[in-house]
Structure 1
Amino acid sequence: MINDSRLEYIFIRTCIVFLHYLTPASIIYTVFLIASYIFGIPRPHTPLAINVIAVAESLFYLVVFLPYSAYLQRAAVHPPVPSRAERKALFEKCYKFIPDPDTYLDRWFLGAPQEEIKHDNVKEFIQWAFFNRGGEAGDDEEELHEYVAAYETLVGRKFEPGRGKAESLRLTLDPIDMLHRSLAWYMCVGFVDLLTYINLLRAGFHFHRTSLSRFFTLFPFRPQAVLTTKRSPAKYTTYWHRPHTSTTHLPVLFIHGIGIGLYPYVPFLSDINSAKDLPAGDGSGGQIGIIALEIHPVSFRLTHAPLSPAVLCAEIASILNQHGYSQVVLATHSYGSVIATHLLAHAETAPMIADMVLIDPVTILLHLPDVAYNFTRRQPQSASQHQLWYFASMDMGVAHSLARHFFWSENVLWKEALEGRDVTVSLAGRDLIVNTEAVGRYLAEGSEDADDERDVEIMPDVSEEGGLLLHEGWKHRPWRGKGIDILWFDDLDHAQVFDTPATRRPVLEAIRAYSANSGNSSGTATVVDES
């Protein structure tokens, strides 16, 4: 993620204008070309390359984008409606962790005036959030009224009867907002993909492709995939693998976030075994194995829809089994925490996950509106917000993945799901997507030494109102390697922890420590995989 300087703002807006208006300009020029041939209109001489690009961009918009975007607008297939007991338990759990009730409603209702958020508006939102549907209340009227009354208690006021003009954010029911991507943009994605391929090969990784019969199901096409002889045991999931030769450490499974694939993570993945200020490999000459999955639906590609949790977990299990990995240290970034949630809940994969490192996770306290609002509805202002909005939020594949296959109640990750494992969570103080303050407080609450004076200090407030100021020492607590640890980077934004060796180092140290501790205690680090 870029920073928010004036120069970076000008740069990102210029890139967006060029990429966004290339297609309209191409269509206008192509219409002029056709008209000039039909009606004999004189035209200036232009290079053949410009004519080819204009026609190709126009055809791509008309033949690919328009029909495909209409196809993607199909209604989501929601998960089954939970039982009443399950709904109540989920509601109570969410209700307990709403740090700012007014902001909670303001974001979920897209900044609508309070007087326009009436009883039926709140009921409609609750139907989507906890019943996985819209429409009439039917037999659920009594239960819905109970939940609306609870929200009234939360915000300290009664909602007026009837329906106001407010519209709530109902991600999987609302129309999908997406913007066209030019053919030139996809060529850039393909070029970056080739660079990633070369860099990972140089770092000792091997690419595992799916069947060649699926070559045309991913665009931009990957000619380099034809060159590899290694096959993924999964039907849809490709991955990169660095062989595991350590006898004292566990291998690592890495799952990336929304973006251009594995390209931004190449230095991070390379440093797991080759950081200059850390011992090489496992310290005794052995190499820590790494599997880095490729999640194409959120990687700026045109491809299949996101896999269901059951199918994806089964594919990941088959990949781990292929290499003889009965247990791994799981490291994820951003959207990768969604998949982590499913791996922990799936009976086959849960025992395979030892300790975990969650970097910029988006699934903790997912019932809060920040992630959904910031990623899909916020009007961009700064350079980083424009970068997120245009290149990620408005991408066809990403928008479809979130609006039709992202069901928050399935993806939310609660603290109790982490019990029994050592977990490090890396949070950025300037994160433009996640409410990291709320997430950090939630994770730190009830942890060992949470009430110690080193962790919570009361100091005089210098404000005019006087009183006391609460300093949250959980941000600066030394890493312990047990229970839930928090790495707090006060001056970083989302994904910036990967940008420099200094910021990567604490995360790498956590991964390597978990790999060593789990490998020594579990007896599963004896795998030697040369494939």
Structure 2
Amino acid sequence: MQRILPSVAPSAKERSDLYSVCLANIHEAETWLPEWFMLSGNPTAHPEFQDICRDNVAEWLSWAFFGSALEDVLQDEAATEELNYMIDNFEQEFHIQFDIGYNEDIIAYRINLDPVHAYHRPLAFYALVMFGTTLFGCAMQFIWGMTKFGPETKSTVWNLLDPQQTYEPFFKTNPEDGPEKVSYWFRDGDRTKKPIVFIHGIGAGLMCYVSFLPKLFALDTPIFCIELPFVSMHCIEDVPTMQETIRDLQKMLQRHEFDDAVFVSHSLGTAVTSWVVKYMSKSVAGVMPINTKVFLSENDNIVDSMRVDTYLNHHGIDTVLMRGLDHASFLFFPTWQKEILATINQFVSQQA
């Protein structure tokens, strides 16, 4: 139900820099590369390294670094030359050689080019989510004293019922020209502490954190809770771009007279925080790896936590492995919540 963003490919310089960074952080190509592919007959299984052919790698690199299908990259002579250089350099770096050709039994992960597998849910399901969101909004306002800011997002169902509804152009070259796209809740607090910006993950939105947010509010620091309805089981058609999201977060801090903040994010919210770190680093209280702490679920069913833990530690980032937990299950363990909250309180207090 959401419109598709046009592909945005990095420049040649950005590709070169990104390729160098990626290459520097691969320790064993034989175990790393197969995880970017799946078997056509079993999407849950990865191929053996020796079964990956050169054109399979070219197909994956075309998506990863050019944002395009292989056939489109091959239409451009300069891009084709750059692509072949990447593969040749990869082989030289790890002393390997891919078989010539294409293995049709292997499929590369190409997130925004792969077909979307949609699953039906009844309208009552979305109505229930919207009802729950409304109730939680009332609790945010009347129980926890939060105030809502930003645009009111209308669902696709509402848009269909409103013939006068007009749409803004979906993609703008200059995001400064567009209207505000990001909604958030705010409550002021002790301004001797740094404010918190909380960004949720995929699911049903902020109400999924009903056991965690009241404890976060109890820290008595200014706090922003960002809403991302387009990943919260709402019928939302318009999705802000990265540039629009960054713009609105900057305006949000300026509106409430803050120079920077402590960003607390979960799951998909960490991706939004990575945009903040890269494009508005002055708004982050502390520079990575200093004043950064990552809590990882040991049995996370989305990422390989052990590998992520090794990578982050290698780069000097403090991590904690939550033993026995899977994705988001810290929400059901008060002891882990207590440790996370103690870390947050330390960050907002020591950086004031």
| Range class of TM-score, shorter chain | 0.7 to 0.9
Shift of 1:241: 1.6
3-state SS, counterpart of residue 205 of structure 2: coil
Q: 1:218 to 1:338 in 2, by over 3 A?
A: farther
Number of the residue aligned with 1:128: 63
Match of 2:208 among 264, 267, 289: 264
* Structure 1 residues 189-221: Cα deviation after superposition (integer angstroms, max 9, x where no partner): 123213322432354232415456x54557699
Match of 2:183 among 222, 235, 238: 238
Shift of 1:96: 2.3
Number of the residue aligned with 1:139: 78
3-state SS, counterpart of residue 305 of structure 1: coil
Q: Is residue 495 of structure 1 aligned with residue 328 of structure 2? A: yes
Q: Is residue 309 of structure 1 aligned with residue 142 of structure 2? A: no
Q: Are the aligned partners of 2:230 and 2:237 in contact in 1 as well (CA < 8 Å)?
A: yes
3-state SS, counterpart of residue 516 of structure 1: helix
Query: What is the CA–CA distance in structure 2 between the aligned matches of 1:266 and 1:141, rounded to whole Å?
Result: 51
Q: Are the aligned partners of 2:151 and 2:183 in contact in 1 as well (CA < 8 Å)?
A: no
Number of the residue aligned with 1:291: 224
Number of the residue aligned with 1:77: 6
3-state SS, counterpart of residue 282 of structure 2: helix
Q: Are the aligned partners of 1:261 and 1:295 in contact in 2 as well (CA < 8 Å)?
A: yes
Number of the residue aligned with 1:509: 342
Q: Are the aligned partners of 1:327 and 1:352 in contact in 2 as well (CA < 8 Å)?
A: yes
Number of the residue aligned with 1:367: none
Q: Are the aligned partners of 1:109 and 1:168 in contact in 2 as well (CA < 8 Å)?
A: yes
Match of 2:24 among 77, 96, 114: 96
Query: What is the CA–CA distance in structure 1 between the aligned matches of 2:270 and 2:159, rounded to whole Å?
Result: 26
Number of the residue aligned with 2:133: 193
Select the structure of larger CA radius of gyration: 1
3-state SS, counterpart of residue 262 of structure 1: helix
Say which structure, 1 or 2, has more relative contact order (CA 8 Å, 6+ apart): 1
Match of 1:107 among 35, 47, 69: 35
3-state SS, counterpart of residue 212 of structure 2: helix
Number of the residue aligned with 1:432: 301
Shift of 1:105: 2.8
Number of the residue aligned with 1:41: none
Q: Are the aligned partners of 1:243 and 1:290 in contact in 2 as well (CA < 8 Å)?
A: yes
Query: What is the CA–CA distance in structure 1 between the aligned matches of 2:112 and 2:103, rounded to whole Å?
Result: 22
Q: Are the aligned partners of 1:78 and 1:133 in contact in 2 as well (CA < 8 Å)?
A: yes
Query: What is the CA–CA distance in structure 1 between the aligned matches of 2:50 and 2:307, rounded to whole Å?
Result: 27
Number of the residue aligned with 1:423: 292
Q: 1:220 to 1:488 in 2, by over 3 A?
A: farther
3-state SS, counterpart of residue 330 of structure 1: strand
Q: Are the aligned partners of 1:190 and 1:220 in contact in 2 as well (CA < 8 Å)?
A: no
Number of the residue aligned with 2:253: 320
Number of the residue aligned with 2:283: 352
3-state SS, counterpart of residue 92 of structure 1: helix
Shift of 1:101: 2.6
Q: 1:188 to 1:154 in 2, by over 3 A?
A: farther
For 2:53, the aligned partner's letter is K
Q: 1:216 to 1:340 in 2, by over 3 A?
A: closer
For 2:347, the aligned partner's letter is Y
* Structure 1 residues 395-435: Cα deviation after superposition (integer angstroms, max 9, x where no partner): xxxxxxxxxxxxxxxxxxxxxx725x410111111111112
Q: Are the aligned partners of 1:428 and 1:492 in contact in 2 as well (CA < 8 Å)?
A: yes
Q: 1:446 to 1:338 in 2, by over 3 A?
A: closer
CA RMSD of aligned residues (A): 2.6
Q: 1:273 to 1:163 in 2, by over 3 A?
A: closer
Query: What is the CA–CA distance in structure 2 between the aligned matches of 1:211 and 1:79, rounded to whole Å?
Result: 26
3-state SS, counterpart of residue 211 of structure 2: helix
Q: Are the aligned partners of 1:207 and 1:241 in contact in 2 as well (CA < 8 Å)?
A: yes
Q: Are the aligned partners of 2:155 and 2:235 in contact in 1 as well (CA < 8 Å)?
A: no
Query: What is the CA–CA distance in structure 2 between the aligned matches of 1:429 and 1:220, rounded to whole Å?
Result: 42
Q: 1:438 to 1:210 in 2, by over 3 A?
A: same
Q: Are the aligned partners of 2:147 and 2:187 in contact in 1 as well (CA < 8 Å)?
A: no
3-state SS, counterpart of residue 98 of structure 2: coil
Shift of 1:186: 0.6
Q: 1:81 to 1:503 in 2, by over 3 A?
A: closer
Identity %: 25
Q: 1:143 to 1:216 in 2, by over 3 A?
A: closer
Number of the residue aligned with 1:7: none
* Structure 1 residues 21-65: Cα deviation after superposition (integer angstroms, max 9, x where no partner): xxxxxxxxxxxxxxxxxxxxxxxxxxxxxxxxxxxxxxxxxxxxx
Query: What is the CA–CA distance in structure 2 between the aligned matches of 1:133 and 1:112, rounded to whole Å?
Result: 23
Query: What is the CA–CA distance in structure 2 between the aligned matches of 1:167 and 1:316, rounded to whole Å?
Result: 37
Q: 1:114 to 1:443 in 2, by over 3 A?
A: closer
Shift of 1:253: 0.7
Query: What is the CA–CA distance in structure 2 between the aligned matches of 1:217 and 1:236, rounded to whole Å?
Result: 16
Query: What is the CA–CA distance in structure 1 between the aligned matches of 2:296 and 2:155, rounded to whole Å?
Result: 38
Q: Are the aligned partners of 2:55 and 2:100 in contact in 1 as well (CA < 8 Å)?
A: yes
Q: Are the aligned partners of 1:187 and 1:220 in contact in 2 as well (CA < 8 Å)?
A: no
Q: 1:211 to 1:257 in 2, by over 3 A?
A: closer
Number of the residue aligned with 1:167: 107
Q: Which runs of 5+ in 1 are unaligned?
A: 1-67, 222-233, 275-280, 282-286, 356-416, 448-483, 520-531
Q: How does the TM-score come out when normalised to structure 2?
A: 0.82
For 2:256, the aligned partner's letter is H
Q: Are the aligned partners of 2:56 and 2:102 in contact in 1 as well (CA < 8 Å)?
A: yes
* Structure 1 residues 50-83: Cα deviation after superposition (integer angstroms, max 9, x where no partner): xxxxxxxxxxxxxxxxxx4xx75x5x41224421
Shift of 1:145: 2.3
Q: 1:493 to 1:203 in 2, by over 3 A?
A: farther
Match of 2:195 among 248, 251, 255: 251
Number of the residue aligned with 1:32: none
